[in-house]
A and B are shown apart, each in its own frame.
Chain A
């Protein structure tokens, strides 16, 4: 039995740590690529959203490498993701691939079912070992996110453009050759040091952009055309509140244990959206409000074409844009998205924010001199 799992940005790093710790044999699909997208687009229903298509491509490519069991998490929110597992199972069956699909749906009601599933894969049931592995995974995922945030801060400030990209990319590749949480953490430490060694302009006050929206398209650089690296290299500091570790820790682990995660976004979203309506709408709305109040210069919302929850966010965002005076750019992605037009919008948005910031500084100075 060889396990595989879908790609979503850096998710493969904590998942790798988990599987290593549990001693499960696995294959990581090739990084998201055009071929995977082509395969997924070919076999998925046309109206399915982009993440489903890419993941389908991941599974087919992993199958070529010998994988026969797919691990995916189930969606706890009422969005299409909830039935991805079933969709993938059926599509792969129709295509004649002999692959089992395991949905790890951790809900409060069925924690024993979740543990049963883990037992089936690990072939044994040692709660202590499993809990230890989960704890280490949570640590790894947290550190991966912290490393990413560090790269967001370095990119706009680095003197030699591309330095952070080079180090970060090398990390993403080398981590594949590490085994277990300990080795991965060592590589993270090494990479952090390298990033901190980059010469930066400390006096620079870059524009700050928050990225909100659907989790897959915001977190996966292949899907969003490396938006964070591009913005960083254009001189913008990026912040993306919804991260892999946040998802693993708040959404899966804490939920399973009946604990509450950081829910400040819910409070912030309240004037615009009072209830959870699926996907990450509440996060999108709440985080936009929080970032605007935190002095961010602009917000970019990303969603896959046809994403129901984010379509709702998209229609709410103009009100926040008006109320809190923060520009919002919405980018919709599907397999037909043309890179050129997409990049033009990003470039123009960065221009807009830079000019607004300059204008704001001038106006600010004027006000000071009046006092």
Chain B
């Protein structure tokens, strides 16, 4: 049966690139969680490829949304109808799955956020500012250093009897401290448990300070798969933590939902270029503009010898070129 009216959401993050296809009711038909591996374009293309294999010609994409740190790039490649930041996307997705949610904890690859929702709208948020300790990449690194698969990492914490106190403020110091505790003979379980507690403590001090964390509390992002962190959050907050079904692709889900909302309100055709983007060739080149003292680093995306987009300039003279603004003189 040909599914009418589907929407695509893509979240290009530092660690993972996620794709979600939803139907017109907002139900997820397919979700993909792929490693970005430092090559976002490749990840986007292979994601689209997989979706093309699964659905082939059986669905119509009526709208597409992109989010995550690579949202501009994804937008250029797939042609999306809405480009949104991660905070809004995560909030939209959480509200869909847990309609009365009031607090959203999100820990991804390189950043962590807290989002407070009141009366159905994002009321306040905070994002880690200075250090990425406690985010997915750091846990990944520790798991591989201890030679434990990341999927198992959290379980170790659950069998611990005592949490060793780890200095969690900074990723580098936390690692030295963990090594120190290993050398003094603490068990791996207790160290991992200690690390989970340190990271939660760090999160609470950095992001949640002065904020009222009302229930229901939802925890999402890749790190929500870590049972040790979940347990540490429950102990710290003395509350039940809800892990939504699609916790690992919430950004992409939110982007798809927003694309659906936008396209439903306004009757225009989607910008989505179609599933055959894998046949096209994409190149990225960088250059430094020397027209003024800012020396901006420019990124140029080229597909089949056509410049799709340029960005990175502070004055806008390069990025505007491709928006058909015509060449304008901007002083220096």
Q: Residues on A close to B: CB < 8 A?
A: 30-31, 33-36, 162, 165-166, 169-170, 172-174, 222, 226, 305, 318-319, 321-322, 327, 330-332, 340-341, 344-345, 347-349, 351-352, 355-356, 359
- Bitwise, B287-317 to A at CB < 8 A (1) or not (0) is 0000011110000000000000000001110
- Given A345-B127, A348-B125, A359-B121, does the pair A166, B330 have CB atoms closer than 8 Å? yes
Shortest distance in angstroms between A35's beta carbon and chain B's nearest beta carbon? 6
A318–B207 Cα distance when bound, in Å, is 12
Shortest distance in angstroms between B295's beta carbon and chain A's nearest beta carbon? 5
The interface-forming segment of B15-23, B83-91, B194-202, B228-236 is B83-91
Beta-carbon contact of B87 and A356 below 8 Å: no
- Given A34-B293, A348-B125, A351-B87, does the pair A341, B111 have CB atoms closer than 8 Å? yes
Residue of A nearest to B129 (CB): A332
- Asked if B54 is at the interface (CB within 8 A of a chain A CB), the reply is no
Which of A35, A165, A352 interacts with B125 by CB under 8 Å?
A: A352
Residue of A nearest to B90 (CB): A348
Which of B88, B320, B331 interacts with A170 by CB under 8 Å?
A: B331
Beta-carbon contact of B122 and A352 below 8 Å: yes
A interface majority secondary structure: helix
A340–B85 Cα distance when bound, in Å, is 10
Shortest distance in angstroms between A283's beta carbon and chain B's nearest beta carbon? 21
Chain B residues within 8 Å of A319, by CB:
210
Shortest distance in angstroms between A303's beta carbon and chain B's nearest beta carbon? 11
Q: How large is the interface on B (under 10, 10 to 19, 20 to 34, 35 or more residues)?
A: 20 to 34
Beta-carbon contact of B211 and A318 below 8 Å: yes
9 nearest A-B residue pairs (beta carbon): A318-B210, A33-B293, A348-B87, A173-B331, A348-B85, A347-B85, A355-B121, A352-B122, A344-B85
Chain B residues within 8 Å of A222, by CB:
294
Chain A residues within 8 Å of B111, by CB:
341
Beta-carbon contact of A340 and B293 below 8 Å: no
Chain B residues within 8 Å of A327, by CB:
123-124
Chain A residues within 8 Å of B210, by CB:
318-319, 321-322
Shortest distance in angstroms between A176's beta carbon and chain B's nearest beta carbon? 10
Which of B121, B124, B130, B293 interacts with A30 by CB under 8 Å?
A: B293
Chain A residues within 8 Å of B130, by CB:
305, 332
Beta-carbon contact of A352 and B123 below 8 Å: yes
Chain A residues within 8 Å of B315, by CB:
169
The total of Cβ contacts below 8 Å across the A-B interface reads 85
Residue of A nearest to B89 (CB): A348
- Given A162-B320, A348-B85, does the pair A169, B330 have CB atoms closer than 8 Å? yes
- Given A35-B293, A169-B331, A356-B121, does the pair A318, B88 have CB atoms closer than 8 Å? no
- Bitwise, B210-229 to A at CB < 8 A (1) or not (0) is 11000000000000000000
- Asked if B119 is at the interface (CB within 8 A of a chain A CB), the reply is yes
A174–B293 Cα distance when bound, in Å, is 16
- Bitwise, B122-136 to A at CB < 8 A (1) or not (0) is 111101011000000
Chain B residues within 8 Å of A305, by CB:
130
- Asked if B238 is at the interface (CB within 8 A of a chain A CB), the reply is no
B interface majority secondary structure: loop
Shortest distance in angstroms between A222's beta carbon and chain B's nearest beta carbon? 8
- Asked if B1 is at the interface (CB within 8 A of a chain A CB), the reply is no
Told that A305-B130, A348-B125, A359-B120 touch, could you supply 13 new A-B pairs with CB distance under 8 A? A31-B292, A36-B293, A166-B328, A166-B330, A169-B315, A318-B210, A318-B211, A330-B129, A332-B129, A344-B85, A349-B125, A351-B84, A359-B121
List 28 A-B pairs, Cβ < 8 Å.
A30-B293, A31-B292, A33-B292, A34-B295, A36-B293, A162-B316, A169-B331, A170-B331, A173-B331, A173-B332, A222-B294, A305-B130, A321-B124, A330-B129, A331-B129, A344-B69, A344-B87, A348-B86, A348-B88, A348-B125, A348-B127, A352-B88, A352-B121, A352-B124, A355-B122, A356-B121, A356-B123, A359-B119
Residue of B nearest to A173 (CB): B331
Residue of A nearest to B209 (CB): A318
A321–B315 Cα distance when bound, in Å, is 34
Beta-carbon contact of B86 and A226 below 8 Å: no
A31–B292 Cα distance when bound, in Å, is 9
Shortest distance in angstroms between B53's beta carbon and chain A's nearest beta carbon? 32
A31–B315 Cα distance when bound, in Å, is 13
Chain B residues within 8 Å of A35, by CB:
293, 295
Beta-carbon contact of A340 and B88 below 8 Å: no
A182–B316 Cα distance when bound, in Å, is 32
A222–B296 Cα distance when bound, in Å, is 12
Beta-carbon contact of A340 and B328 below 8 Å: no
Chain A residues within 8 Å of B119, by CB:
359
Chain B residues within 8 Å of A356, by CB:
121-123
Of B129, B130, B325, B328, which is in contact with the most chain A CB atoms at under 10 Å from its CB?
A: B129
A287–B316 Cα distance when bound, in Å, is 32
A327–B118 Cα distance when bound, in Å, is 13
Chain B residues within 8 Å of A166, by CB:
328, 330
Of A31, A170, A347, which is in contact with the most chain B CB atoms at under 10 Å from its CB?
A: A347
A166–B330 Cα distance when bound, in Å, is 6
Residue of B nearest to A161 (CB): B325
Chain A residues within 8 Å of B330, by CB:
166, 169-170
Chain A residues within 8 Å of B129, by CB:
330-332
A170–B210 Cα distance when bound, in Å, is 44
Shortest distance in angstroms between B177's beta carbon and chain A's nearest beta carbon? 23
Chain B residues within 8 Å of A170, by CB:
330-331
A356–B328 Cα distance when bound, in Å, is 37
